[in-house]
């Protein structure tokens, strides 16, 4: 059976810096309500680093690190994705017997988060929670926390749009 596409390929969904701030604030509040706050924040480079930093401040932890996982084969919209490739990781003592939250910008099909969670469990993390700004409707496993659900390609404020872009662009709140 052929997998269902995760993008409609009808429009680009642009998030402004202001809307991004609101979404991160919402996620920080949701995670901050937990009885068992994560001890370590792990951002997936590059997209998850802003969210990771904000979560670390909300959780009042200096234990904020990043791992490098790459899947997209290019920086273009609707880029082909391969298997998650770990460019760099962590020392096991950072997460050993600790509760961890993984931060990323988007969960497309969930493969990157799944690989990151498995990796951290292998390193000895006591528990792993996932948090993303945007979840795609085609995601195979929902992250524990997400602020927005979409069905097309998202352009974050730190990403540049091609000035000759022909695909309609919609700003999302």
What residue spans define the domains of the chain? 12-71+83-172
CA-based R_g, the chain, Å: 16
Strands (E), the chain: 12-15, 40-45, 64-72, 81-88, 99-107, 127-136, 145-150, 153-155, 169-172
Which pLDDT score is estimated for 73?
61
Which pLDDT score is estimated for 2?
47
Which pLDDT score is estimated for 5?
52
Closest CA to 136 of 157, 107, 111, 163: 107
- In what order do the strands lie in the sheet containing 12-15? 153-155, 12-15, 169-172
Closest CA to 6 of 149, 139, 111, 166: 139
Rounded-to-integer distance, Cα 116 and Cα 69, Å: 8
Mean pLDDT for back-to-back runs of 10 residues, the chain (173 residues): 54 92 96 94 95 95 93 60 73 96 94 95 97 93 95 89 76 81
User: What count of Cα atoms within 13 Å lies in the side-chain half-sphere of residue 31?
Assistant: 36
Which pLDDT score is estimated for 86?
66
Q: Are 26 and 172 contacting, i.e. CB atoms less than 8 angstroms apart?
A: no
Rounded-to-integer distance, Cα 5 and Cα 70, Å: 20
Which pLDDT score is estimated for 142?
94
Give domain 12-71+83-172's CATH architecture. 3-Layer(aba) Sandwich (3.40)
**Residues 6 or more apart in contact with residue 156 via CB below 8 angstroms:** 15, 20, 47, 105, 133
């Amino acid at each position: 059976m052929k997998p269902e596409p995760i993008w409609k390929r009808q429009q680009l969904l642009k998030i402004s810096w202001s809307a991004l701030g609101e979404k991160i604030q919402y996620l920080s509040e949701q995670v901050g309500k937990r009885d068992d706050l994560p001890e370590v924040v792990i951002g997936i480079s590059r997209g998850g680093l802003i969210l990771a930093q904000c979560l670390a401040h909300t959780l009042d932890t200096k234990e904020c690190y990043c791992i490098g996982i790459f899947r997209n084969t290019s920086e273009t919209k609707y880029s082909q994705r391969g298997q998650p490739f770990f460019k760099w990781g962590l020392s096991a003592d950072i997460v050993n017997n600790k509760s961890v939250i993984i931060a990323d910008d988007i969960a497309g099909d969930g493969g990157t988060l799944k690989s990151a969670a498995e990796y951290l469990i292998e390193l000895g993390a006591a528990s792993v929670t996932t948090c993303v700004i945007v979840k795609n409707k085609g995601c195979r496993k929902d992250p524990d926390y997400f602020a927005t659900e979409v069905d097309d390609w998202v352009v974050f404020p730190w990403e540049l749009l091609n000035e000759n872009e022909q695909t309609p662009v919609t700003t999302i709140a």
